[in-house]
Amino acid sequence: MIKLQNVCKSYYLGEEEVKAVCNATLEIKAKEYVSILGTSGSGKSTLMYLIGLLEQPTSGKIFLDDQDVSKLSDEELSHIRNRTVGFVFQSFNLINRFTVLENVLLPTHYLKGQLDFDPRKRAEDLLEKFGILERKHFFPNKISGGQQQRVAMVRALIMNPKIILADEPTGNLDSKTGSEILDLMEGLNKDFGVTVVLVTHEKAVARRTRRQIYIKDGLIVDKY
């Protein structure tokens, strides 16, 4: 599904080049449940942004379903990303002035063209499946952290994506709630058939996935 071939990503701090990812070659197949494991500053978030088409590589190629997406325009990438990728973040990234339901529906407003489903019905069906339908008219700052992360997961699913990228999804949660969220992550993969890539610095979290990708100092390595 997703292939990276000798991908590098560099940033510049003044005149100094910072190599965040170096010669990354990997493949993530459809319906896999994998983790990217690395310490802070290892390049794992940059690698996630590359896989999620939020960043373009400095060099190398990225293929999505055998299409080379490395040189597409921002508009073309945005269109593919909106229909293909869902994101779940550590800080939830919900908008407090919008209700739970309005937050979930946000990705549907960015699509140019007709939807092939009723967005409100799909949103409510997903909220019910995740046990938070009764909170649909609440604002995010009026529900718990675990409920906010469930809302973020529903928002990530609303466009029926092929892949979910989760960046430290348990980082702001207590251990019990974090374990529940990981159970739900596994369910996304098992019940919805979605490819799930979980980014973490915690070995115990990574072990919950079926395969681990290790990154250190921007390099994909065999062990962590």
Mean pLDDT across 164-179: 90
Mean pLDDT across 118-140: 95
Q: In the structure, what pLDDT confidence band is assigned to residue 223 with cuts at 50, 70 and 90?
A: confident
10 Å Cβ neighbour count for 157?
A: 22
Mean pLDDT across 168-194: 89
User: Are 8 and 20 within 8 A, CB to CB?
Assistant: no
The predicted structure's pLDDT at residue 114: 77
How far apart are alpha carbons 188 and 164 in whole angstroms? Answer: 8
How far apart are alpha carbons 75 and 195 in whole angstroms? Answer: 24
Percent of the chain with pLDDT over 90: 72
Rounded to a whole number of angstroms, the distance between the first and last alpha carbons of the chain is 25
The predicted structure's pLDDT at residue 111: 73
The predicted structure's pLDDT at residue 224: 66
How far apart are alpha carbons 77 and 54 in whole angstroms? Answer: 8
The predicted structure's pLDDT at residue 28: 96
Indicate if the pLDDT at residue 164 is higher than 90.
Answer: yes
Give all domains of the chain, ordered by start, each with its CATH number: 30-58+72-221 (3.40.50.300)
Mean pLDDT of the chain: 92
The model's pLDDT over 87-101, given as tens digits with 9 standing for 90+, comes to 998 888 999 999 999
Mean pLDDT across 178-191: 90
Mean pLDDT across 120-125: 95
- Sort strands 16-28 and 2-13 into parallel, antiparallel or unpaired: antiparallel
For the packed helices 100-109 and 119-129, what is the interaxial angle rounded to 10 degrees?
130
The predicted structure's pLDDT at residue 192: 86
Q: What is the DSSP letter of 142?
A: G
